[in-house]
Structure 1
Amino acid sequence: MSIYIALLQEQDAVNLFQFECENRTFFEKMVPSRGKDYYHFKYFRMRHSELLKEQDDNTSFFYLIKNNLDDIVGRINLVDIDKNKRKAHLGYRVGESFTRKGIADKAVKLLLQEAPKLNIREIHAKTTSNNIASQKVLEKNCFKQTFINDEEEIEFNGQKLKLIRYIWN
């Protein structure tokens, strides 16, 4: 599937809200919930505006992953940007009906091409020990595993999981 990434815009709010609502159950199997308020459009719209402000301030960059029909198939972000150290943290999610199509891999590749234009030379990422798909995406895109703390566990959906940290530069 052909994809591209597009910087988040104000006019994306309605379609992004629909994407998030359609994929809520799927996402919450892998990452903590954004909370029930997030799925009320008034609150979502406010949160969307906050993200756009972060983007205007160059402290985060939020991208939509879109297919050739301009449908939103996922999201990919660079957040917590440290301008002095030229580093950021990566996050991404792909909608349930678009998984297992190489979309996350392609989106990460596209974002890594954008990083130098944003003056970012180092990107950190983390995933859980049970998220093999995400580990493969990061490793395929030249992220190096840096740390697994056997003592640092999180409990999520009744499972104790370790966090695996990665770095790209």
Structure 2
Amino acid sequence: MRPGYWDIHIPPNSGSSYVVEDTMEDHAGCEVVKTCCDDQFSLCFSGNASRTVEVQRVDSEIGWPQQVGWGQDLYLRCYAPSVASFAPSTVPAEPPWYLRLEESTHVTAKLDFHHGNVIGGCECSNHAIQTRVSGSDWIDAGGDCLARDTRTCTLENLADASDRFGPARGSCDE
């Protein structure tokens, strides 16, 4: 291991996320090191000096309530502020792949969406579905459309056929 870097083991996990309670040191950033596969992960930092890190798997097209998390050993590799200028550059996240209307009535709509497989350097990856009545501003949908680990949601209480939905967009913490 290079000076200024350290690894924290993350065991195989059956859920969509895993929380590292303490990174052991103050850091300038972290990344997930995989032992195999094309799994994609996003990191959410919180707590004192961002030393709590939630590791989220984000590449599943159908979301994670129906699937297992990951079967490989992962490592959270963090780096000290003193080596931040040598840290690997991040790759931007790709835009959402699709937003599909699956079922609708005059006041509800079920949507399927996928925000892409390549999350890149996106911290705390999330998505938003937006709606608007013709001629008004877009607003973020609530309810199950906000759940990070799902790829389907139901919009309710739509005013009438003039309600429009979309776009799906991904978001990252800066």
> Which of the two has greater strand per residue?
2
Q: Which has the higher contact order (CA 8 A, sep 6+)?
A: 2
Higher Cα radius of gyration: 2
> Which of the two has greater helix per residue?
1
Task: Please give the range of the TM-score, normalised by the shorter of the 2 chains.
Answer: under 0.3
TM-score by length of 2: 0.24
